[in-house]
Amino acid sequence: MSVTENIKVDTTHNQSDETYTTPINPLSPKEKSPVSNEQQEKENTVSKMQLSNDLTSPLEDSWSFWYFKNDRQCKWQDNLIQLATVSTVEYFWSVYNHIQVASRLGQGCDYFLFKTHIQPMWEDRINRSGGRWSLNLNKSQRATELDKYWLVTLLSLIGDQYTEDAEHVNGCVVSIRSKADRISIWTKDWKNTEVTKRIGSRFREVADIPRNIPLIFESHEDQESKRDATSKILFQA
Ligand code: MGP
């Protein structure tokens, strides 16, 4: 079975073909740069292995990839498309290698990776009291840093790097924005300040984020109710 056949694209959101084919159309190896060679090698390996979620390295949790297409004609939630659910290491790589790298997404688009039982939105019961730790990257970092930070962030989640706090980590998001790209980790309960701060420090540690780049934490509640362009920064790591 080819990798494409293996990806379960959820088309129930009534999107146009273009909407959900865009992120899963692989680029040619050359275009996929800066990580092309390494990625291509992996891709060759995974396609040879004909991977599926049935194979043998189960993840601690099952995770779903989502794509947000920035179509301003649609309501925010209608722009969210579930791409695939992964519960093994092998299938994670199969999916990761098959979708566009984040730096190639259009302005206003996002990828989300969330625990499968959690919808990647404020409205989900498990996100309601939560917030997000964010790493903001400027334009020049899109070509050089964004994909690297996004991959290590993904790996830290599926690889259970938040140990005893992992149950407080709901998912992560990469957002392509003209003002600044952003990688965020969504947590479950921002009022649990000890856990929240520990997740921020751990994010910095696992992603090897230099001290001069701030990590900021905002609650979803503030995000939802903010009137101007900014919401309250509750913590920094
Ligand atoms: P954003 O994509 O999180 O940030 O939210 P962006 O684009 O950097 O913009 P800024 O407002 O942070 O400067 C952008 C907008 O998308 C929000 O203002 C909401 O209108 C909508 N939105 C974002 N999220 C994560 C949600 C969500 O979970 N639920 C709903 N209903 N709308 C959301």
The closest of 2, 210, 230, 168 to 98, measured between CA atoms, is: 2
Ligand 1 contact, 221 CB (< 6 A): no
Maximal C-alpha separation, the chain: 52
pLDDT digits (tens, 9 = 90+) for 160-214: 999 999 999 999 999 999 999 999 999 999 999 999 999 999 999 999 999 999 9
Residues 170 and 187 sit within 8 Å (Cβ to Cβ)? yes
- Which protein residue has the closest C-alpha to ligand 1 atom 24? 121
Domain ranges of the chain: 3-25+35-236
Q: Kindly state the tokens that stand for 210.
A: 């230099």
Hey, what amino acid is at 56? T
Q: Which residues contact 229 (CB under 8 A, 6 or more apart)?
A: none
When pLDDT is averaged across residues 64-83 and rounded to a whole number, the result is 96
CA dihedral 164, 156, 62, 50 (to 10 degrees): -150
Give me the pLDDT at residue 33, please.
43
Give me the pLDDT at residue 38, please.
54
Q: Which residues contact 156 (CB under 8 A, 6 or more apart)?
A: 162, 202, 203, 206, 207
pLDDT digits (tens, 9 = 90+) for 6-58: 334 343 433 333 334 446 543 333 344 444 555 555 455 445 445 566 668 99
Cα(137)–Cα(126) distance, rounded to whole angstroms?
A: 27
Looking at domain 3-25+35-236, its CATH architecture is 2-Layer Sandwich (3.30)
CA of 52 to the centre of ligand 1 (A): 33
User: What is the number of the ligand 1 atom nearest to the C-alpha of 121?
Assistant: 28
Give me the pLDDT at residue 53, please.
66
Name residue 85's beta-bridge partners.
64
Ligand 1 contact, 177 CB (< 6 A): yes
Give me the pLDDT at residue 128, please.
97
User: What is the number of the ligand 1 atom nearest to the C-alpha of 68?
Assistant: 2
- Which protein residue has the closest C-alpha to ligand 1 atom 20? 76
Give me the pLDDT at residue 127, please.
98
Q: Which residues contact 231 (CB under 8 A, 6 or more apart)?
A: 218, 219, 222, 223
Q: Kindly state the tokens that stand for 136.
A: 């903001």
Q: Strand 131-137 relative to strand 58-68: parallel, antiparallel, unpaired?
A: unpaired
- Which protein residue has the closest C-alpha to ligand 1 atom 16? 76
Give me the pLDDT at residue 141, please.
95
Would the pLDDT of 59 be above 70? yes
Task: Using alpha carbons only, give the angle 171, 176, 181 rounded to the nearest 5 degrees.
Answer: 85
107 confidence band (pLDDT: 50, 70, 90): very high
Give me the pLDDT at residue 55, please.
65
Ligand 1 contact, 27 CB (< 6 A): no
Q: Which residues contact 79 (CB under 8 A, 6 or more apart)?
A: 68, 69, 70, 71
**Span of 111-120, 127-136, 147-156, 224-233 with lowest mean pLDDT:** 224-233
Q: How many Cα atoms occupy the beta-carbon half-sphere of 163 within 13 Å?
A: 5
Ligand 1 contact, 235 CB (< 6 A): no
Ligand 1 contact, 175 CB (< 6 A): yes
**E strand or H helix at 169:** strand 169-175
